[in-house]
Amino acid sequence: MLKRLGAAALACALVGACSVREEKTIVAPAGAAESCQARGYQPGTSAYNDCVARAADRR
């Protein structure tokens, strides 16, 4: 009985660990956002975020 309880507790702990979300915020240097908008990327889209990230990596 104790082994089953331990196994159930371990399973719950593993499931709980897998449900944690992680968010990454990219802060681009001044000018990256403006240059991406000038190229026609719409703010809030994944393509725009990729453009800003690439511009930030280049600087």
pLDDT band of residue 18 (cuts 50, 70, 90) is low
Decide: 36 and 52 in contact? Cβ < 8 Å. yes
pTM listed for this prediction = 0.47
Residue 40: pLDDT band (50, 70, 90) is very high
d(CA 6, CA 18): 19
Q: Distance between CA atoms of 17 and 7, rounded to whole angstroms?
A: 15
Cα–Cα dist 1/32, whole Å: 60
pLDDT at 32 over 60: yes
